[in-house]
Structure 1
Amino acid sequence: MAEKKAVKSFLWGALAGAVTGAVAGLLFAPKKGSELRKDIADTAHTVGEKTAEIGRKAGATASSLARRSGDWAEGIRSRFGKRDKAEIASIADDGSAEDAADDQ
């Protein structure tokens, strides 16, 4: 959950920084009003596309992590059968999963 919040915060920060930088650069460039408005619209469109792309990549990464975590949990569950949750968590935490499986 913390990773998801960190990714979301990063994306918002990146978006805010990109928009602020683009707008500042355009406003300080010596151009006619119509050219400036067109440049701002084009930049906003580009930033929107990039943000959507980053969001898709972050979503795919989060899905992959969730799938791998589920696979890992299923492997632990199938490997240790009817052991209680506290015992399984203890084994997983201390890295002695192979030793415990051999004991069965």
Structure 2
Amino acid sequence: MATGKQTRGFLFGALAGGIIGSVTALLLAPKAGKELRQDISEGARKVQEQTVRAAGQVSETTVRFAKQIGSQATELADTAKAAAEAAVESVKQRRIEAADAIEEVKDEVEEAFENTAEVVEEKQLQTIN
């Protein structure tokens, strides 16, 4: 794909070549002054029309590329946002699961401590009796 500089360079070269070629052909052709001036005027008008047409095409292409790039950038941003939200949600869920697991372990430790205390108390009562 041609870059913007290459495209502009090509258009400028084509325009300059067209102008130089037209003027050279007109000046070297054997014609009367009035005819020559009319031909030069006509050639200048054609070159102007071609320049306007080429500029319009470049402008349309540039706008199309800009819209396409903008659309792709928006899609990429939306994808990145969705991925970040999913990662945050995953971390939140894991924190909740970890907190639940810690609470279960805490309950089990407390229960084990109470059971141990009861066993120790029973052993002490047995040794006293």
Confirm or deny a common fold (TM above 0.5). yes
Q: Is the partner of 1:31 in helix, strand or coil?
A: coil
Q: Which has the higher contact order (CA 8 A, sep 6+)?
A: 1
Aligned equivalent of 2:70? 70
Distance 1:7 1:60 in 2: 13
Give the structure with the higher percent helix: 2
Q: Larger Rg: 1 or 2?
A: 2
Aligned equivalent of 2:5? 5
Give the structure-1-normalised TM-score: 0.73
Q: Which amino acid aligns with 1:59?
A: S
Distance 2:48 2:77 in 1: 43
Q: CA RMSD in A?
A: 2.1
Runs of 4+ in 1 over 6 A off after TM superposition: none
Aligned length: 84
Q: Deviations over 1:36-64 (max 9, x none)?
A: 01100110011001111110011000110
Q: Deviations over 1:14-71 (max 9, x none)?
A: 1100000101111111111110011001100110011111100110001100110110
User: Unaligned regions of 5+ residues in structure 2, if any?
Assistant: 85-89, 91-129
Give the structure-2-normalised TM-score: 0.59
